[in-house]
Structure 1
Amino acid sequence: MRTAIVVGAGIGGVTAAVALEQCGWQVTVLERAAELGEVGAGISVWPGAAAVLDELGVEGIAKAARLGEAAGMRRWDGRWIVEAAELGIELPVMLHRAQLHQLITDRLGPAVTIHTGTTVTGLTQDADGVTVTATSAAPGGPAFGGRSGNAGSGDAGSGGPASVGTEYRAELVVAADGIRSVVRGVLVPEYKGPRYSGYTAYRGIAEVGVADGGGETWGRGQRFGFAKLIDGRIYWYATSNREAGGADDDVRELFADWHEPIPALLAATPSVLRNDTYDLPTPLLPFVHGRVLLLGDAAHAMTPNMGRGACSAIEDAGALARVLRAGKDLSAYDAERRPATTKLVKRSRQIGVLGQLDSKLACTLRDAVFAAGGKAAGLLAKRRKVEESRV
């Protein structure tokens, strides 16, 4: 049986492990966190990623998910800019990141071994395979356990104190160790790495139900969006222009005078996650370096403006499975995924630039353009439905 190592057990890493196992590979997963699991809030699962998960036999996505109910785009005072009801746009399903991670790991079989508490420190490769060096926080055997901890970044590069050094050997390494990938740094040490977007993101789960369908609200240098999860709670996210590493402002105060139900959602949120947002600058590095393959944020980290980051990692794993099953060279993976994700990285950053405008005049013009574009898109969608009904 052929052997592979997956570095990082976030959503992309465990999906890659499922894909490799189903292609007949013996897989070792190395995760720096002490427990297997995901942190975060809600996640959008778009049709492309849902199709990959279905092909891999991951069950329960539709059952655990809720169809997105994006109601459109509003101004900070609640006035509509674009209503989405008649646009005919394709919507994702919404669920909690931890739920998605568990549904995927439930599909792992006996050919997958997961080592938690393991920090990758380097790797070398030769004609026959790759040797990965790692340290463990404490002695012990492999773990396939605990989905309730504070894991979830998939970043296997910066663990805590380590006491045990180990070498792992395989024919293939999949680096799914996050935006600050140690593996990528070893492969291409001159690469500058992540760039700051100029704004901070806040996320949370409101322990309250609302009748509002959700969507996004854009203001000056700030945005707020929300959607319902299957259990009726509300996943929300917000952004605000800030210097990297700036003061930890109270998100409730930032959006105190915005339209309802935004203040109510924030008031009903027990804890808030805050992260400065980064992406990887283009042109992106090649995704394949000999026997080492970059996947997910390690390859193409993007700002969260399109909600496509985790889905792109899932789609990476699907592409890897297709390449292996077809017996193609790994370069086929790079040829498929790098152009596609480069477009997403660029588009997501552009949306962020528009969304974070803070000039009053620029925001007024932006909103007017979106409103006009929304009306035009609505008319086209109606015409398309009429034409389809005549077929």
Structure 2
Amino acid sequence: MKRTRRAVVIGGGIGGLTAAAALHRAGLSVTVLERAGSLRPPGAAISLSPNALRALDVIGLGDEIRDLAAWQGDGGLRTPGGRWLSRSSARAAEARFGGPLVLLHRATLVASLSERLPAGTVRTGADAILADPGADDRPARVRTADGEWEADLVVAADGIHSAARRTLFPDHPGTVYSGFTTWRLVIPLPGARFASHETWGRGRLWGTHPLKGGLVYAYAAAVTPAGGHAEDERAELLHRYGDWHDPVPAVLAAAGPEDVLRHDVHHIARPLPAYHRGRVALLGDAAHAMPPNLGQGGNQAIEDAVVLAHHSGDPAAYTAARQPRADAVARRAVRAARLNLMTSRAGTAARDAALLALSKAAPGLFLRGFDGIADWRPPGPPYASERTRTG
């Protein structure tokens, strides 16, 4: 009888759970080891572009997420005073990239992914250490307080400060501070009507997007030294953004200090030698942490997961398939952050003038920034969506 291959996933975030679901679907016996006491992620939303939704189609989850999520409507870029620099059309985006951009709470996506796994697959409160990456002639080994696991494949989805990455590539410098911090909040704002927007100031930006159920997702970023925190982060946001255009003041008025999450942003500036070593594959932020300015961090992790399942017997093939693309997206995210968060007054004025002129000359300018990203297709059928065929 043929032996069932075993996979151990370190990390129960969106990338790790997607990998677990994809590997289970591919016939592997999967265990997920999550160090936190539960799978409930922090209170923030995630945007999923058509590339990630097509990846979720591969594991039979795409249509469910399309139903649970809010579909991105018309919107665009604005100045703090409210002037539109560039507008985008939801219909044009769907036509260009083969599907919608959607937004939903991270907890909703995590719950849907975990429901795709057999009972007992996920073990929380399990702080896992990569003990041996393995090789062709021996399995990889992962150690927890309860004992040791042997695996044909270990998926290191342990986040931006990945311990597994340090074990595999001890000479790699790891992440660097991206130069800015971010705030995120999801709050109820019943009856609010506004177009989705991202607003660029000088060294600051703000985005507001409607979710389902009368909820609003908002995020902000500002160039600031690393390690800063305010006693009251809502008050800090009011100080920085309280005089920006509607609906920013209304969102801040409806938020409480407990609603605001703040995190410094770090990224991998020097690409890794590979996304694998031995029988271990790095996934998501562990492999290619990037600034959030293209909204692609989680999307790229989801892509990683289905491509890894496609090449589950050959981690080197996974590196070959994923590293050129994900590293390129990461570089584009760094460039986007520099443009979004420009601090020079003259540079900001020139940026805004150029955006306004270009958007008038070429109305699809905003969407062109996602060419080569949102139009990605998974490596092979079958595709589970009954609505968005990708082959």
Q: TM-score, normalised by structure 2?
A: 0.85
1:283 and 2:292 equivalent? no
1:318 to 2:303 alignment: no
CA contact under 8 A between 1:120 and 1:182: conserved in structure 2? no
Q: Which residue of structure 1 aligns with residue 79 of structure 2? A: 75
Q: CA 1:257 to 1:7, structure 2 compared with 1: closer, same or farther past 3 Å?
A: same
The equivalences for 1:193-208 within 5 A come to 193-208=174-189
2-structure distance, mates of 1:87, 1:172 = 41
More off after superposition, 302-311 vs 240-249: 240-249
- Partner in structure 2 of residue 154 of structure 1: none
Contact 2:88 2:364 in 1 (8 A): no
Q: Is the 8 A contact 1:10 1:37 kept in 2?
A: no
For 1:85 and 1:42, the matched residues in 2 are separated by 21
Which residue of the partner structure matches residue 56 of structure 1? 59
Give the Cα–Cα distance (whole angstroms) in 1 for the partners of residues 90 and 67 of structure 2.
26
Which residue, out of 111, 114, 117, partners 2:125? Answer: 117
Note the alpha carbon deviations across 1:149-196, whole angstroms, 9 max, x for none.
Answer: xxxxxxxxxxxxxxxx52111111000000111111111111111111
| Residue aligned with 1:371, SS | helix
The answer on whether the counterparts of 1:202 and 1:274 sit within 8 Å (CA) in structure 2 is yes
Residue 281 of structure 1 deviates from its aligned partner by 1.1
- The answer to whether 1:96 aligns with 2:77 is no
Alpha-carbon deviations, 1:10-35, whole Å to 9, x = none? 00001101111111111111100011
Following the alignment from structure 2 to structure 1, what is the Cα–Cα distance between the partners of residues 5 and 166?
26
Pick one of 6, 11, 22 that aligns with 1:8. 11
How far apart in 2 are the matches of 1:225 and 1:330? Answer: 38
CA distance in 1, matches of 2:342, 2:91: 25
- Paired with 1:283 and 1:180, the residues of 2 have a C-alpha distance of 15
Of the three residues 111, 114, 128, the one matched with 1:105 is 114
Matched, 1:190 2:190: no
Question: Would you say 1:218 and 2:204 are equivalent positions?
Answer: no
Q: List, as ranges, runs of 4+ consecutive aligned residues in structure 1 with deviation greater than 6 Å.
A: none
* Partner Cα distance (2:292, 2:32) in 1: 26
Alignment coverage as a number of residue pairs: 348
> Which residue does the alignment assign to 1:44?
47
Q: In the alignment, which residue of structure 1 is the partner of 2:138?
A: 128
C-alpha deviation, 1:284, in angstroms: 3.1
Q: Please, which of 273, 297, 314 is the counterpart of residue 309 of structure 1?
A: 297
- Structure 2 residue aligned with 1:247: 229
* SS across alignment from 2:311: helix
- In the TM superposition, what is the alpha-carbon distance from 1:300 to its structure 2 partner? 0.7
- The Cα shift of 1:378 comes to 1.5
Cα distance in 2, alignment partners of residues 65 and 131 from structure 1: 38
Distance of 2:325 and 2:113 partners within structure 1: 23
CA-CA distance at 1:89 after TM superposition: 3.0
Map of 1:140 onto structure 2: none
Distance of 2:341 and 2:364 partners within structure 1 = 28
Taking the aligned partners of 1:282 and 1:190, their CA distance within structure 2 comes to 11
The question of 1:264 aligning with 2:250 is answered yes
Q: Percent identity?
A: 41
Q: Secondary structure at the match of 1:333?
A: helix
Query: Tell me, what secondary structure is at the counterpart of 1:88?
Result: helix
1:332-376 CA distance string (max 9 Å, x none): 211111111111111111111111112211100001111122223
Determine the C-alpha separation between the residues in 1 that align with 2:174 and 2:359.
36
Aligned partner of 1:304: which letter? P
Please say if residues 285 and 299 of structure 1, whose CA atoms lie closer than 8 Å, have aligned partners that are also in contact: no
C-alpha separation in 2, matches of 1:28 and 1:51: 25
Whether the 8 Å contact between 1:221 and 1:241 is mirrored in structure 2 is yes
Report what 2:97 is aligned to: none
Secondary structure, counterpart of 2:299 in structure 1: helix
TM-score, normalised to structure 1, is 0.85
| Contact residue 215 and residue 227 of structure 1 kept, 8 A | yes
Q: Residue by residue, what CA displacement relative to the aligned partner does 1:234-284 show, whole Å, maximum 9, x if unpaired?
A: 100000111010232511221011111101111112310000011111323
Structure 2: runs of 5 or more not aligned: 95-99, 367-391
1:22 aligns to what? 25
Change (3 A) 1:291 1:284: same
Q: 2:355 aligns with which of 370, 383, 387?
A: 370
Q: CA deviation at 1:87?
A: 9.0
- 1:155 paired residue number: none
Structure 1 counterpart of 2:111, one-letter code? Q
Tell me the CA shift for residue 40 of structure 1. Answer: 3.3
Q: Which whole-Å CA distance do the structure 2 matches of 1:176 and 1:380 have between them?
A: 34
